Structure 1
Amino acid sequence: MNDLILHHYATSPFSEKIRLIFGLKKLPWKSVEIPQIMPKPDVVALTGGYRKTPFLQVGADIYCDSALICDVLEHVRPEPTLYPPHLKGVSRVFAQWADTSLFWAAMAYNLGPKGAAHVFGKQPELARAFGDDRKAMSANLARPRTADGTSAYRSYLRRIAHMVEEHEFLFGTEPCVADFATYHPLWFTRTVVPPMADILATTPAVGEWMDRMAALGHNVPIPLSAADAITIAAAGEPQPPGANLLVDSAFQDDHGIPLGTRVTITAESFGPEPTEGELIAATRTHYSLRRSDERAGTLHVHFPRIGYSLRKAEAA
């Protein structure tokens, strides 16, 4: 198998989710540091438009969205599992809640005036650039105001505490995908904006659970430049549908769009930039596009179905 290459940056919450899964599974990986805001020419060369963080590269195959990356890493190394048999449904549903409702409440709190001042310090130009970038990414998303997010975050922390007071992890003695999805916005509070971490003090059981999660580590990666990652993609051939790291392959047509059609795939809420290409797979869990880039060559770019819209390119 080709190397696992994670394109990410240090303070990205969703990247921390995946970095910890590398630690859980003791998987070797290579690390490409990418910009926090646009322009991202090396990112777009590989993804075709998608610019959320992180994404996973395996040769000339590009896997977008942390939920899909979790499925890929589970296929690469099934044990320890992210999806215990008795928790397959509830762990995924809980993770989806954590990656959306919990995440946006936490970030409304984390990047309120005090948190933003800590992150950006005396760099008003950087603060404005970051704010403008995230505003553009949030065009289709109703984000909570700071006060509303804070109220929700406090309630969510109490509910999480009720779970980890009973178990070492959310659903038992071992972590599952729900733990990783729940951890990363709280990690941002504790690690990236420590002046905001007093909100965690009222739920000490949550802090103890976070310590157990942090102890999983990242399984130290090998640094790789973006240019080298693009060279790796250009030198390789993407895996054919059904032979890549996504195990389901049967065509599921919910749109009346046949394989071979030129299409766009776009995130439904956060990150409205479309990726265009030839539809080569539409299974029960994911979409795959074939596209070409003058630097990266021929690539297959993969997206989860949930959270993404598929359209014919001419109707986009």
Structure 2
Amino acid sequence: MNASNVAASPPPVVLFGYESSTFTLKVRLALRLKQIPYTFITVPSMMPRPLLKDSFGLTYRKIPVLAIGREIYCDTSIICEALEHFFPPNEGYQSLYPKAKDGRDYRGLIRGFVSYWTDRPLFRVTTGLIPASVWRTSFGDDRAKLIGHKLDADKLEKKIPENLGHLDLQLSLLEPLFEGQSGPWMFSTSSPSMADISVYYQLSWGNDIASGKSIYNLTGGGTDNTTSRGTSDVFNAERYPAIYSWYRMVEKYFDSLDSTETKDPPFEDVLGQMKKAPTLGKKSVLLPTPRPAHKELDERTGLVDGALISVAPDDTGRADPTVGELVAISPEEIVIRPEKVEGHEVKVDVRIHFPRVGFTARPVNRSQL
């Protein structure tokens, strides 16, 4: 399987997530924009997730996870790059990185904008708007384990007005970008890009979650949905007319696209399709980068072919690393073949891909497992 033959024989594309997941929404929008047919498999919003652990040996805590055939991609930064690579514009799929009207290619800038702005500081602001009732459920206990410390629901409730102020700050920073547009889309691209998706999904999810619209799903039924004011005190047409107009335009654009999702078919059927998918060859297992791996630096840190390594996020979820044999590495990506989990063989022989942005990879001894 490579970018040139995906169109001729497309492997199954499977997205694992849950309805109220911020980052699941991001990938759903990317798949819809590119019009890639895919299967959506619902997993719990909280640990454990035996479906992922038992099927693929994946102990990674965060959602979503995307499978392209037997290749498993973790974290939306690499998921979106994989979708762009294996379903390219020259095979009829829309690009996540269309060129600007003046011909400039802003892909690198857009990737940085998404990874270091919308997916981090803006996301921290929108999660700060989650109603306190959520933190008083088992979801709050689960996220305390993810973060590494106990969450005080009363304290978080008192901080919501402050976090609305932080959202106002973010919108104030963004508004001039939309006022000065030479076209309808961010960075003056010819069609919506990952930049448009990234700001849109955060504002959409942030408003829904702040209003209590999706908290029943988020907590696994632990608290009822509500209908509060959401983000309307700061995010409205009067205060930020340029962003608000753009937001409604993006919403209308995605509503006009056909859905390409098949939701929750029998999972054993999905596993059967994945097992039949071809395996990427050694040279094509990595996504393309301007330069190959820096072999000397990687060797100095113990990241060599065949090494047993542990991969985990560098912010939250560090207590649940995924362990496996290093298969391939580049400046931007790490690929492992997962170890048995609790002595059980996985159901599908997969390789798991992680980005190097936001993750740490270190050698481990089997005696440490």
- Category of TM-score, reference length = shorter chain: 0.7 to 0.9
One-letter code aligned to 1:219: S
Q: CA contact under 8 A between 1:61 and 1:299: conserved in structure 2?
A: yes
Aligned CA RMSD, in angstroms, stands at 2.7
Q: Residue 303 of structure 2 aligns with which residue?
A: 257
Q: Residue 171 of structure 1 aligns with which residue?
A: 187
Q: Residue 61 of structure 2 aligns with which residue?
A: 51
Q: Residue 216 of structure 2 aligns with which residue?
A: none
**Matched residues in 2 for 1:149 and 1:72: separation?**
34
Q: What CA deviation, in whole Å up to 9, does each residue of 1:235-269 have, x standing for no partner?
A: 55542333247234943343232110000100001
Q: What CA deviation, in whole Å up to 9, does each residue of 1:260-283 have, x standing for no partner?
A: 000010000122210000001110
Residues 236 and 25 from structure 1, CA distance in 2 versus in 1: closer, same or farther, beyond 3 angstroms? closer
Q: Residue 347 of structure 2 aligns with which residue?
A: 296
Q: What CA deviation, in whole Å up to 9, does each residue of 1:70-98 have, x standing for no partner?
A: 10111123333223352122211111111
Q: Residue 254 of structure 2 aligns with which residue?
A: 216
One-letter code aligned to 2:354: F
User: 1:128: Cα distance to partner?
Assistant: 1.8
User: 1:200: Cα distance to partner?
Assistant: 1.2
Q: CA contact under 8 A between 2:164 and 2:231: conserved in structure 1?
A: no
User: 1:159: Cα distance to partner?
Assistant: 1.9
**Matched residues in 2 for 1:225 and 1:93: separation?**
38
After TM superposition, the structure 1 = structure 2 runs for residues 14-53 of structure 1, keeping only pairs within 5 Å, are 14-45=23-54, 46=56, 48-53=58-63
**Matched residues in 1 for 2:86 and 2:274: separation?**
19
After TM superposition, the structure 1 = structure 2 runs for residues 1-316 of structure 1, keeping only pairs within 5 Å, are 1-45=10-54, 46=56, 48-79=58-89, 80-83=94-97, 84=99, 85-96=104-115, 97-109=117-129, 111-113=130-132, 116=133, 127-139=136-148, 146-167=160-181, 168-173=184-189, 174-194=191-211, 195=228, 196-198=230-232, 199-201=234-236, 202-214=239-251, 215-217=253-255, 219-223=259-263, 224-236=265-277, 238-244=279-285, 246-248=287-289, 250-253=292-295, 254=298, 255-272=301-318, 273-291=320-338, 294-314=345-365
**Matched residues in 2 for 1:16 and 1:172: separation?**
24
**Matched residues in 2 for 1:187 and 1:47: separation?**
33
One-letter code aligned to 1:252: H
Structure 1 stretch displaced more, 301-310 or 90-99: 90-99
Q: CA contact under 8 A between 1:230 and 1:295: conserved in structure 2?
A: no
**Matched residues in 2 for 1:31 and 1:129: separation?**
25
- Give runs of ≥4 in structure 1 deviating > 6 Å: none
Q: CA contact under 8 A between 2:12 and 2:273: conserved in structure 1?
A: no
Q: CA contact under 8 A between 2:18 and 2:43: conserved in structure 1?
A: yes
SS in 2 for 1:240: coil
One-letter code aligned to 2:349: T
Could you list the runs of 5+ residues in structure 2 that have no partner in the other structure?
A: 1-9, 212-227
One-letter code aligned to 1:178: A
User: Matched residues, percent identical?
Assistant: 25
User: 1:49: Cα distance to partner?
Assistant: 0.9
Q: CA contact under 8 A between 1:263 and 1:276: conserved in structure 2?
A: yes
**Matched residues in 2 for 1:295 and 1:278: separation?**
14
**Matched residues in 2 for 1:43 and 1:193: separation?**
29
User: 1:135: Cα distance to partner?
Assistant: 1.4
User: 1:232: Cα distance to partner?
Assistant: 3.7
Structure 1 stretch displaced more, 278-287 or 156-165: 156-165
SS in 2 for 1:181: helix
**Matched residues in 2 for 1:211 and 1:305: separation?**
34
**Matched residues in 2 for 1:163 and 1:227: separation?**
47
**Matched residues in 2 for 1:241 and 1:205: separation?**
47
User: 1:190: Cα distance to partner?
Assistant: 3.0
User: 1:295: Cα distance to partner?
Assistant: 4.0
Number of residue equivalences? 305
Structure 1 stretch displaced more, 151-160 or 281-290: 151-160
**Matched residues in 2 for 1:175 and 1:222: separation?**
24
Point out the structure with max Rg over C-alpha. Answer: 2
Q: What CA deviation, in whole Å up to 9, does each residue of 1:30-78 have, x standing for no partner?
A: 1111111111101223252112111111222100100101101111233
Residues 259 and 25 from structure 1, CA distance in 2 versus in 1: closer, same or farther, beyond 3 angstroms? same
**Matched residues in 1 for 2:279 and 2:307: separation?**
19
